[in-house]
Structure 1
Amino acid sequence: MDFTFTEDQLAFKEAISRFLMTEAPPEMLRDIWETEEGRSPELHRSIAAQGLTALSVPEAQGGLGMDDIAWSLLTQELGYYAIPDSMVDTAYVAAGLLTALPDSVVQRNDMLEQVAAGEMRIAVAHSINPLAADVHLADQVIVEHQGEVHFLSRDEIEQVNNISIDSSRRLSKISFSASDSSRALDAQAGQAVWGETLNRGALAVAGQSLGLAQRMLDLSVDYAVQRKQFGKPIGSFQAVKHKMADVVSGIEFAKPALYRAAYALVHGDPRADLHVSHAKLACTEAALVAARHGIQVHGAMGYTWEADLQMFMKRAWALNASWGTREFHRQRIANDIFADGAAVGPRYTFGE
């Protein structure tokens, strides 16, 4: 079995990286953080023009029909450049949710077509997240209510804004009145859809966290090479080398967990919950370690507005509890591996 990425997949990742490098330099990110909405319409239009909003949409609705493995590569790049846009929630999480709905849901196809064209922003309000992101800009809000799927406009909900340490994320606590007119799917059918949505949301956070960890490592290494003490670059000191080595180890151990989780989602693995939770924990831990050691390498200046590190560090902190806390994902893993007759061991990794 060949576990390497194809040339097309690697070329896709490289093309996305070049595009985002040009479109979202750190100076631009600072400007976006200070706006009232925390988002850039120009950046969103550029993303849509590149076809990125159409990646998960089925071909029948004008999309590219790409899978979770492609997104495991893309979300790393979105994290590496700390892209301040609702693209992941709309083009990946919401698009996957809409695709899973039956054709009988009247709004399904129209919404997918608008997502593919970059003409619709969707906020997803899952019960796992006490606060929903980007509701203030959403054309449509998809809400979980006791397992049901509800479609609501912003006018149909009440929202209370909540300040985030990541100034590019606008969070809201929402409330609404459930009705037959807003219900797209009942609880019995909706439970499976919301389960997949939770896994995609957690996988998206894992990918972004891994990208953030790599960016914070790169920033810290660059600083350690330039900053001198006692006439030598601080990167030559063994204590600094050990901290950077810890970050590298965390990233390298998290990568296969992320890709295994994406593989599980693509192939409908019945143990997908286990693999997604493993990826979420491994990737967010790598980002937290990269942030902590990055601050120690930079010193107190790493917290300041002028330092690029602070933007990536704050994004990592903000995403840590999104789509499930560490306790939630640890419990999902425990439920699997401590169950009677648990399929634990190397031979179960990819099946018999």
Structure 2
Amino acid sequence: MDFTFQEDQTLLADTVRRFMVNEVSPELIRELWSRPSGRSPDLWRQLAEQGLTGLSVPAEHGGMGMGDVDWVLLAQECGYHGLPAPLLESSWVAAGLLAALPPNDTRDRALVGIADGSLRVALGHAYSPLVADADQAHLVLLEQGGRLFAMPSNRVALTAQESVDPSRRLFTVEWESEPQYCIAEQAAPLMEQAFLLGALAAGAQLLGLAQRMLDLAIDYSAERKQFGKPVGSYQALKHQLADVAVKLEFARPVVYRAAHAMAHGADAAAAHVSHAKVAAAEAALLAARNAMQVHGAMGYTWEVDLQIFMKMTWALDAAWGERSLHLARLRAHVLAPDAALGPGSTFEEQE
């Protein structure tokens, strides 16, 4: 199996990286934390102008019709730069759910709006009951009684909930199911697919966050001095940073494998996604802990950028299923009597 990304995929990721270097800075993130909305309309407009809001939308609805493997590199960049916008939730997860529905007026209008950036969609799920960015959404997708509803924002009541990450705006949603807003009678398979996309998106972001915190720690270890020498010259800190690099290197292909499984509808896609979420979360949490060791108590302060990405890591670790849930799913897959395990199930024989 070839996990090499195609040239157009890496070029798109490079373009997104350059955009975010210029437009998404720690200073902007801090500024948005102090705004009541916590969001920047200008940043969202720029994302739409770059075509990023329509990546998952089929071409007939004004999008680019790209898939999960294309998204996974972009999600890493969103994590690395701490993008304070619901791009992944609305334009990957929710758009993917809507695109899987049979054509209807509500679904088609929503996809066109997502593609041009004029409409944002939030999603509530049993495994993620707090709805991210529900206050910014025009539609909120919710399940009740086995049916899926696309509720307009003026038909739901929102209550803000505190998050360890001020960039992650969470809400409880109170609503009454109204038949005219039902868009699918059988919601279970759609919600499972959306849950897997959400967990994959969180895992890819955690990869980016881990790399960002590792880079910050490396840079700071060259600047901070003790006993007249940079702390990065001490063997103990070198080992800590090396541990993060190794953990990250092993987590990255696991996330890519999960994206490939989702894109190709593999039977074990759910297990691959759970593995990816767990591996990426462990790498990011280790990066946060060891980067804090390098920074010392300064790492918790407002002025140091590390605290921004640590908070995002802690929030995403619990988003779209906690590690205990994903470990249970992975355990059930591995211990199943008919589990397809071993190299014979991983690699195809070549004649």
Give the letter for the 2:14 counterpart. E
The alpha-carbon deviation at position 37 of structure 1 amounts to 1.0
The alpha-carbon deviation at position 72 of structure 1 amounts to 0.7
Give the letter for the 2:52 counterpart. L
The alpha-carbon deviation at position 351 of structure 1 amounts to 5.2
Equivalent in the alignment of 1:217:
214
The answer on whether the counterparts of 1:94 and 1:124 sit within 8 Å (CA) in structure 2 is yes
Matches within 5 A, 1:151-300: 151-186=150-185, 189-300=186-297
Rounded Cα–Cα distance in structure 1 between residues aligned with 2:80 and 2:49:
21
The alpha-carbon deviation at position 109 of structure 1 amounts to 0.9
The alpha-carbon deviation at position 231 of structure 1 amounts to 1.2
Q: Percent identity?
A: 48
The alpha-carbon deviation at position 246 of structure 1 amounts to 1.0
TM-score, normalised relative to structure 2 = 0.97
The alpha-carbon deviation at position 157 of structure 1 amounts to 1.4
Give the letter for the 1:148 counterpart. R
The answer on whether the counterparts of 2:3 and 2:256 sit within 8 Å (CA) in structure 1 is no
Rounded Cα–Cα distance in structure 1 between residues aligned with 2:197 and 2:89:
9
Give the letter for the 1:20 counterpart. M
- Three-state SS of the structure 2 residue aligned to 1:39 is coil
Equivalent in the alignment of 1:14:
14
The alpha-carbon deviation at position 285 of structure 1 amounts to 1.0
- Three-state SS of the structure 1 residue aligned to 2:168 is coil
TM-score, normalised relative to structure 1 = 0.97
Runs of 4+ off more than 3 Å: none
- Three-state SS of the structure 1 residue aligned to 2:105 is coil
Equivalent in the alignment of 1:121:
120
The answer on whether the counterparts of 1:202 and 1:277 sit within 8 Å (CA) in structure 2 is yes
- Three-state SS of the structure 1 residue aligned to 2:303 is coil
Rounded Cα–Cα distance in structure 1 between residues aligned with 2:215 and 2:145:
43
Rounded Cα–Cα distance in structure 1 between residues aligned with 2:113 and 2:276:
31
Unaligned runs of 5+ in 2: none
The answer on whether the counterparts of 1:147 and 1:194 sit within 8 Å (CA) in structure 2 is no
Unaligned runs of 5+ in 1: none
Rounded Cα–Cα distance in structure 2 between residues aligned with 1:51 and 1:144:
29
The alpha-carbon deviation at position 2 of structure 1 amounts to 3.0
Higher mean displacement: 107-116 or 6-15: 6-15
Distance 1:350 1:171, change over 3 A: farther
* Backbone CA RMSD of aligned residues: 1.1
Aligned length: 349
Rounded Cα–Cα distance in structure 1 between residues aligned with 2:341 and 2:145:
33
Rounded Cα–Cα distance in structure 1 between residues aligned with 2:249 and 2:156:
43
Rounded Cα–Cα distance in structure 2 between residues aligned with 1:138 and 1:260:
31
The alpha-carbon deviation at position 350 of structure 1 amounts to 4.8
Higher mean displacement: 206-215 or 143-152: 143-152
Rounded Cα–Cα distance in structure 2 between residues aligned with 1:164 and 1:84:
14
